[in-house]
Amino acid sequence: MNRAATIALTALAPVSWGSTYAVTTEFLPPDRPLFTGVVRALPAGLVLLAAVRLLPTGAWWWKSVVLGALNIGAFFPLLFLSAYRLPGGMAAVVGSLGPLFVAGLAAPLLSERPSARTLLTGIAAALGVSLVVLKATGAFDALGVAAAVGSSLSMATGTVLTKRWGRPAGVGPLTLTAWQLTTGGLLMVPLALVVEGAPPALDAPAVGGFLYLAVANTALAYWLWFRGIGLLSATQVTFLGPLSPLTAAVIGWAALGEALTPLQVAGMALALTATLAGQLLPARRPGPAVVLPPAPARSARRASR
């Protein structure tokens, strides 16, 4: 498969994550972000684990726990906490800084020095997303800002560590997906029980929404993402991240009746241009790793309300 096709397939992952907010608000029980995170990750991880029938061995037991915690178990709760405490799309704006965080971490961990072009492209992507989702209303607190930064750093660290560690011989992207979704989901279970209590009653629309999130939005989307990071550079894949809040904004306009201002349209054009430029950056030789990405676009969609 050629490079353009690989990029296109990988891009389907953040596009799918852009639907998370609409599905959550329209079909799922309200105010249960941790329960939603558990149902989204753990069943998908267990089904994939049963399918691949392969457990980690040796050092990959603790590596899977670390990566599952960074990419799922810590990322989801921090992202949702920031979404609830910050106004508008501030959490999404911080999340759009992911390419810059990855570039900074890649220098000490992967010995990859970021170029000026990479940094400028990352800044342009963050600016474009901010024009789409950021509203200058309300006040934000220090805990919300810390959670937003923490969620973005958690994902970026998980991305770079997965690139650094690679994957065991004979282990493919699907198996790594199973390991990380399972460990991340298990880590969220006690937190969800303590913070939110017993699981809520589910009606038919909620069951359908959870099935979509677990199958298409998580198992399939994360597998596409992991597959892409094995074939592309970490920087290229990270620059696909802004497609998530942009997709969320488009869904809000097309399906939820939310208006798009000329400034938001200009921001979309800027973010899409930066995303495309991120794929044209000089590619370093990609490692064998598979990376877990950003996650739900729920915080981004809060912004366009």
Q: pLDDT value at position 292?
A: 41
- Cα-flanking dihedrals φ and ψ of residue 86, to 5°? -100, 150
Q: pLDDT value at position 300?
A: 41
- Cα-flanking dihedrals φ and ψ of residue 130, to 5°? -60, -35
Would residue 197 be called left, alpha or beta, if left means φ above 0 and alpha means ψ between -120 and 50 degrees?
left
CB-CB contact of 18 with 245 (8 Å): yes
Q: pLDDT value at position 163?
A: 80
Question: Could you tell me the pLDDT band of residue 249, with boundaries at 50, 70 and 90?
Answer: confident
- Cα-flanking dihedrals φ and ψ of residue 153, to 5°? -70, -35
Residue indicated by tokens 């267990």: 46
Q: Give me the residue spans of the domains in the chain.
A: 3-295
| Residues 6+ away with beta carbon under 8 Å from 37 | 72, 76, 77, 80, 185, 188, 192
| Residues 6+ away with beta carbon under 8 Å from 135 | 87, 88, 89, 303
Instruction: Please give the Cα distance from 260 to 39 (Å, whole number).
Output: 32
Instruction: Please give the Cα distance from 150 to 95 (Å, whole number).
Output: 10
Q: pLDDT value at position 288?
A: 44
Query: What's the angle, vertex CA 232, arms to CA 244 and CA 298, rounded to 5?
Result: 15
Residue 24 has pLDDT above 90, yes or no: no
Task: Write the pLDDT tens digit of every residue in 158-168.
Answer: 888 888 888 88
Most confidently predicted of 110-124, 215-229, 231-245, 273-287: 215-229
Flag the least confident range among 53-57, 66-70, 232-236.
232-236
Task: Write the pLDDT tens digit of every residue in 101-158.
Answer: 887 887 788 777 777 888 888 888 888 887 877 665 555 567 877 887 888 888 888 8
Mean pLDDT in residue range 247-253: 81
Instruction: Please give the Cα distance from 117 to 121 (Å, whole number).
Output: 6
Identify the residue with better confidence: 197 or 290.
197
Percent of the chain with pLDDT over 70: 85
CB-CB contact of 262 with 102 (8 Å): no
